[in-house]
Amino acid sequence: MHGIYGLIDIGISAIRAAQMALMVTGDNIANAENSKFCRRRVIFQEKPPLLSLPILIGRGSEVTNVKRAYSPFLAKQWQQELAGLGYHEVRKEALGRLETIFNEAEGEGLNRDLTAFWNAWEEVSSDPASIVNRYNLINTAKTLAANFQRKSNDLKELREDMNTEVKNVVEQINTIANQIAYLNKKIKSIEIKGVDANNFRDERDELVRELSKLADVTAFEDNGKVTVLVGGVAVVQEESAYTLSVETNSEGFYQVVWYGEGGLKVDITSRLEGGELGSFLEMRDTIIPQYQNDLDRLAYNLVTEINTQHQLGYGLDDSTGNNFFEPLTGIDDAASLIQLDSTIETFPEKIAASSAAGQQGNNENALAIIALKETAITGLSDVTFNDFYLSLVGEVGSASQESQNNFEYQQLVLKEIEASVEAVSGVSLDEEAANLVRFQQMYTASARLISIADDMMKTLINLGT
């Protein structure tokens, strides 16, 4: 309608629009520190003119939608880098714990115990008849064995912890998958009316990001609904969540299993590579076993080499063919099974320092055992016991150092991505302050429009008087 009433209508629409814009601005300000919040933009739309009239003039404005300032491209990158962060964070922390097990910096550790063990043999060699020296050797060997056992135990515990975490993460993934499926439904039902379900989308994006940190996730949106793939299988599709479960394998560790429609079952453990879950699995299945194996190899070869030489020698009681350590059947778990031979422990005179019977002062076998210290051991890739252990410590140290660097780097990468996201989606208080002024002016001007229409009406009414 053209005319004074039309003017009032325009004023009212503009007042409404300004009010809404102010509300959106207020909402932006209120959520400036809300990390999952994307800045909202008001979409103004001109109210269409009446086509029946000869001249087309708009009938004011209305707010048709409130959109999020959001970049799907950055969101994807953010997800990927979060998976990297989750992976490196877990790796850094797990390797940090691993490194504590092998930390020799405080002076305690296998390096010191191995040295003490060889030196106790030196003492025996320098005075083979001395029982005191023999007891000293026994105690040193027991300390050494105990240290092997403790390290082996610590490694097992660490591996167990990683396993428990696998289960925890799978549970978290399930919870989040359910929430995403629910939000898919919610968003669909709102957006069917043609408006954006902004807060639910914020919520869902946040959940996808949380999920990305937990596992290497592929998420894509189709028709307002997000499909989420973990390890190639869909944990969320349309409005349903397909949860993951864990099943204990023959070694007592959890396998991650997916159940789909119609009883379909897929073991996805080997496909999980990124995120916290991938990292926990890698630590559990690859990295820790490798160090366990190294430690076991060291223990096994030490026991075997020493026993072989020890059997050749003679004790003070002329006994021969004795073992020094309890013999081991294989490398498997050697570090936790290493133990001083029980006979030697009770009868120190059986320690075979001599190379012949009846020679109390003969120390040749003790010297032969000490010579093993500097011998390259075939079972240890042709390095000495000490060097093998040192390279083990070195490897742990480098791996830990590398993981710290990777984590720091990943944090930097993430910081950059987050800054880019923030540049698009973040709330700038300066900007909002300016918007406040703008929309307030709009409000004032619109109100002015109505008051002018009022004046005009008065003028009209008072024409006759």
The amino acid sitting at 368 is: A
Is residue 283 at the binding interface for another protein, with CB under 8 A as the rule?
Answer: no
Closest CA to 184 of 231, 240, 230: 240
Is residue 154 at the binding interface for another protein, with CB under 8 A as the rule?
Answer: no
Which residues in 314-333 contact another protein (CB under 8 A)?
Answer: none
Is residue 125 at the binding interface for another protein, with CB under 8 A as the rule?
Answer: yes
In degrees, rounded to 5, the angle at the alpha carbon of residue 138 between the alpha carbons of residues 134 and 140 is: 115
- Decide the pairing of beta strands 233-237 and 240-241: antiparallel
- Give dist(CA 334, CA 311) in Å, integer: 20
What is the nearest approach in angstroms of another protein to the Cβ of residue 42?
17
Is residue 102 at the binding interface for another protein, with CB under 8 A as the rule?
Answer: yes
Nearer to another protein, 308 or 386 (CB): 386
Is residue 58 at the binding interface for another protein, with CB under 8 A as the rule?
Answer: no
Is residue 304 at the binding interface for another protein, with CB under 8 A as the rule?
Answer: no
Task: Please give the radius of gyration of the chain, using alpha carbons only, rounded to the nearest integer.
Answer: 38
Residue 170's CB is within 10 A of a number of other CB atoms, namely 23
Q: Would you give the end-to-end CA distance of the chain in angstroms?
A: 27
CB 219 within 8 A of CB 206: no
- The secondary structure of 265-290 as a DSSP string is EEE-GGG--SHHHHHHHHIIIIIHHH
66 forms beta bridges with 42
Is residue 422 at the binding interface for another protein, with CB under 8 A as the rule?
Answer: yes
CB 217 within 8 A of CB 228: yes
With CB under 8 A as the contact rule, the residue among 428, 447, 450, 454 that binds another protein is 428
Is residue 132 at the binding interface for another protein, with CB under 8 A as the rule?
Answer: no
Nearer to another protein, 69 or 456 (CB): 69
With CB under 8 A as the contact rule, the residue among 9, 27, 123, 161 that binds another protein is 123
Nearer to another protein, 229 or 436 (CB): 436
Is residue 93 at the binding interface for another protein, with CB under 8 A as the rule?
Answer: no
Q: Can you give the binding site for another protein, defined by CB under 8 A?
A: 32-33, 35, 95-96, 99-100, 102-105, 107, 111-112, 114-116, 118-119, 122-123, 125-127, 129, 354, 356, 358-364, 367, 370, 374, 386, 390-391, 393-398, 400-401, 404, 411, 415, 418-419, 422-424, 426-431, 433-434, 436-437
